């Protein structure tokens, strides 16, 4: 199996669905836009959908400092009519810097100080009531600095 970095996920067109803070950990629940290079990428109907999205968890542990998430938990909410999770906000930019990750959304700036993070595709853990394929785990250090930017065109 080919080892991929975070470049196989387009964070800048992904959505924040919720989060949970527990002790020195933070878990962000996301709907992630996968690139064609990702092993779980599947073709999609371009007339009906924007891209190949998968549910995922972004786990930060141990977190030494956190800014921008004021509530300890917002559970992802299932919309029965649409048959999908409701988005809290869209991710606009994500920066991986020395010892922290900064996530800019439509309405907030989240900064998580943590030496390491883990991205799990196809699992939101305690909220997914369906069977999912075996998750793809990607653990990576926050250093060296990386930047992923998106330009919003009106």
* 23-50: pLDDT as tens digits: 888 999 999 888 888 777 788 777 777 8
pLDDT-derived band at 5, boundaries 50, 70, 90: low
Please give the residue that has the higher pLDDT: either 20 or 48: 20
Q: Is the peptide bond before 62 cis (omega within 30 degrees of 0)?
A: yes
Q: What is the pTM of this model?
A: 0.74
The two structure tokens encoding residue 29: 């629940």
Average pLDDT over residues 124-137: 36
Domain boundaries, the chain: 6-148
């Amino acid at each position: 199996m080919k080892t991929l970095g975070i470049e196989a996920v387009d964070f800048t067109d992904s959505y924040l669905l919720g989060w949970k803070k527990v002790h020195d950990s933070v878990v962000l629940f996301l709907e992630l836009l996968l690139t064609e290079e990702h092993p779980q990428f599947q073709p999609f109907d371009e007339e009906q959908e924007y891209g190949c999205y998968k549910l995922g968890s972004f786990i930060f542990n141990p977190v030494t400092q956190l800014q921008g998430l004021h509530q300890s938990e917002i559970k992802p909410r299932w919309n029965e009519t649409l048959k999908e999770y409701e988005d809290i906000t869209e991710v606009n930019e994500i920066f991986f810097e020395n010892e922290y990750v900064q996530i800019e959304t439509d309405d907030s700036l989240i900064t998580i100080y943590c030496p390491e993070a883990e991205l799990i595709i196809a699992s939101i853990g305690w909220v997914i009531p369906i069977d999912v394929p075996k998750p793809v785990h990607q653990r990576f250090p926050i250093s060296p600095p990386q930047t992923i930017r998106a330009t919003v065109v009106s």
